[in-house]
């Protein structure tokens, strides 16, 4: 019995004194391992008489259990202490100022999309979207494009390979199919803008095979050309952040509008800087017109009851004019230095009241 008390006392002291998991495991092996002291006492049970085993068995088992329990308790404490020490070395002080590193920038095209949406949103327009891959009806026929129109040819448009027995799909050449989908799926009054990517077979300093466009559509009763002019003049003033704009609307032709007009604005050029609003020269900004009655009929809308206007503009070109970028091609070259120079802080959301750029 004295051996049991001595072993227990010494074992518990050694367990308590173990400073790390390795030292604790050494104590465990010394006491509970195959050649350990507690294990050695357990082996003596086989040489005892039945009466002695009946007396010593419970005591030795109790010793073994108390030592094993003490090892587990100490192990838990050491593991918790080790975790605390590790966490202490891996802490990050969030109160420290951030390092002066570049954290990314919003591409000018995306910035202009946000600005345009903010301006027209303030006028009551909602944003509508549609697929990049379109069928002939939505991209051409419903928009009053006649057979044989140049836009239906491969030198202007990217056609997909046609399935057997079917018509080829196209990469949309404008976001006007979104207008068609909106008119066929809903009823007037309609007031939307349709931003997105469009595709045409062209490539130079001011044209790319894929570019960005936003179109607008208003369908209501009593709509006339004056509403179109007022809406677009207000947009140009808000977008270029000027108090007044001298504008003119030149007659033009688009299959889907009648009458059609291109909007020009006066501007001045100071070196490489272009100032929109007034000056001695005219610059074409966008195309527009009253929605053609055939387009309304194709979408199930009675042109005798409803009228509307539509407009479209290139987002890439608007960004070039407003932010002084001379070449369109770097837009798509993934140059981090260019994006840092021309990019915008992504957390600054444009608004008409709070400022756009």
Q: Could you report the average pLDDT of every consecutive run of 10 residues in the chain (357 residues)?
A: 72 83 83 78 76 76 81 87 85 70 79 92 94 92 86 81 83 94 94 94 75 95 95 93 91 94 90 79 94 95 95 91 82 83 77 62
b vs e for 300-310, b when ≥16 Cβ sit within 10 Å of the residue's Cβ? ebeeeebbbbb
The burial class, CB within 10 Å (0-12 / 13-18 / 19+), for 251 is exposed
Q: What is the DSSP letter of 86?
A: H
Write down how long the chain is. Answer: 357
- Tally Cβ neighbours within 10 Å of residue 287: 20
pLDDT at 163: 81
CA distance 170 to 176: 13
Residue partners of 217: CB distance under 8 A and separation at least 6: 179, 182, 183, 190, 191, 192, 193, 194, 291, 308, 309, 310
pLDDT at 259: 95
pLDDT at 355: 60
CA distance 268 to 274: 6
pLDDT at 356: 61
Contact status, residue 42 vs residue 79, Cβ threshold 8 Å: no
Contact status, residue 290 vs residue 307, Cβ threshold 8 Å: yes
Cis amide bond preceding 309, omega within 30? no
Comparing CA positions, the residue from 170, 169, 180 lying closest to residue 201 is 170
pLDDT at 147: 85
Contact status, residue 311 vs residue 232, Cβ threshold 8 Å: yes
pLDDT at 350: 73
Q: For 315, what's the count of Cα atoms within 13 Å in the CB-facing half-sphere?
A: 27
Please give the model's pTM, rounded to 2 decimal places: 0.67
């Amino acid at each position: 019995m004295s051996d049991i008390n001595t072993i227990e006392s010494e074992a518990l002291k050694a367990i308590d004194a173990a400073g790390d998991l390795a030292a604790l495991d050494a104590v465990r092996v010394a006491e509970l391992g195959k050649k350990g002291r507690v294990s050695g006492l357990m082996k003596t049970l086989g040489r005892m008489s039945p009466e002695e085993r009946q007396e010593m068995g419970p005591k030795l088992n109790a010793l073994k259990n108390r030592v094993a329990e003490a090892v587990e308790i100490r192990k838990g404490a050491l593991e918790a202490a080790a975790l605390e020490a590790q966490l202490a070395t891996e802490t990050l002080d969030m109160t420290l100022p951030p390092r002066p590193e570049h954290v990314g920038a919003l591409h000018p095209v995306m910035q202009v999309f946000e600005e345009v949406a903010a301006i027209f949103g303030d006028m009551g327009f909602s944003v509508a979207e549609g697929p990049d891959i379109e069928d002939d009806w939505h991209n051409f026929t419903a928009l009053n494009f006649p057979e044989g129109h140049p836009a239906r040819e491969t030198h202007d448009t990217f056609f997909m390979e046609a399935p057997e027995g079917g018509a080829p799909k196209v990469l949309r050449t404008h976001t006007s199919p979104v207008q068609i989908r909106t008119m066929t799926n809903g009823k007037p009054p309609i007031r939307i803008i349709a931003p997105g990517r469009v595709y045409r077979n062209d490539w130079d300093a001011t044209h790319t095979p894929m570019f960005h466009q936003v179109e607008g559509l208003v369908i209501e009763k009593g709509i006339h050309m004056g509403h179109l002019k007022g809406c677009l003049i207000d947009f140009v003033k808000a977008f270029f952040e000027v108090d007044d704009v001298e504008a003119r609307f030149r007659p033009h032709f688009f299959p889907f509008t009648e009458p059609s007009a291109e909007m020009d604005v006066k501007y001045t050029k100071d070196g490489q800087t272009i100032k929109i609003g007034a000056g001695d020269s005219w610059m074409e900004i966008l195309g527009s017109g009253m929605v053609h009655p055939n387009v309304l009929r194709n979408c199930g809308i009675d042109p005798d009851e409803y009228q509307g206007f539509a407009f479209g503009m290139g987002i890439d070109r608007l960004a070039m004019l407003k932010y002084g970028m001379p070449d369109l091609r770097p837009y798509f070259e993934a140059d981090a230095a260019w994006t840092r120079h021309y990019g915008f802080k992504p957390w600054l959301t444009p608004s008409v009241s709070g400022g756009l750029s």
